[in-house]
Amino acid sequence: MQIAENAVASFHYTLTDDNGQVLDSSEGREPLTYLHGTGQIVPGLEKAMAGRVAGDQFKVDVAPAEGYGVHHAELVQAVPREAFQGVDDIQPGMQFQANGPQGVVHVTVTQVDGETVHIDGNHPLAGQTLHFDIQVTDVRAASEEELAHGHVHGAGGHHH
C-alpha cells in the first residue's frame, strides 16, 4: 500500500541541520506514526512521504517555508523582567507561553540582561532547512475511528 490521504504511515527518521548535526532521531525508539493528510508532520516531509511504501528509504531536504516556517524578526523582542511574575531565575533556553494577538504564543528566552529579557516567538527550527533521512516501516489504511478522530490510535498513536 502506498502512503496517501487517510493512510497511517510509520517511519524512522533522523533530522539534521545544514552542518550535519543531528537535531532529532527515532533511533532507539518506536517509529513515528501519523495519519497522512492531516498536517501532523511538517508539510514538506508529508509531501515527500506521499506515494512511498513500507521498506522505502530516502533523504529529503525541506525548505523553511515547508518546515517550521521562515524566521520572523518581529517575533524577537525585549521585554521587562517584571513580565515574568513568579519566576525568580530566568535563564536562556527557558520556554514560556504568552498571550499574543492570534492567541497563545510559545516563546524561548534567548538572553537576560539585568531587567530585560530577550524572547523569540519563532519555532526553534524556523528559518532552517531540515534534512531528513527516512525509512518507511509500515503503511496501512486508517480505521473509521481514526478518520473520525483525525489521529492514529493504538501502537505509535493516541490511546483513549
pLDDT digits 0-9 by tens, 127-140: 999 999 999 999 99
- Give the per-residue pLDDT at 157: 57
Nearest to 117 by CA among 156, 158, 149, 89: 89
Q: Give the number of other Cβ atoms within 10 Å of residue 86's Cβ.
A: 4
CATH number at residue 133: 3.10.50.40
User: Tell me, what's the pLDDT at 156?
Assistant: 55
Give tens-digit pLDDT for 80-103. 999 998 898 999 999 998 877 778
Establish if 107 belongs to a structural domain. yes
Does 96 lie in the same domain as 29?
no
Residues 16 and 35 placed together within one structural domain of the fold: yes
Q: What is the pLDDT of residues 35-64, one digit of tens each?
A: 999 999 999 999 999 999 999 999 999 999
Structural domain of 60: 7-68+126-149
Residue 156 covered by a domain:
no
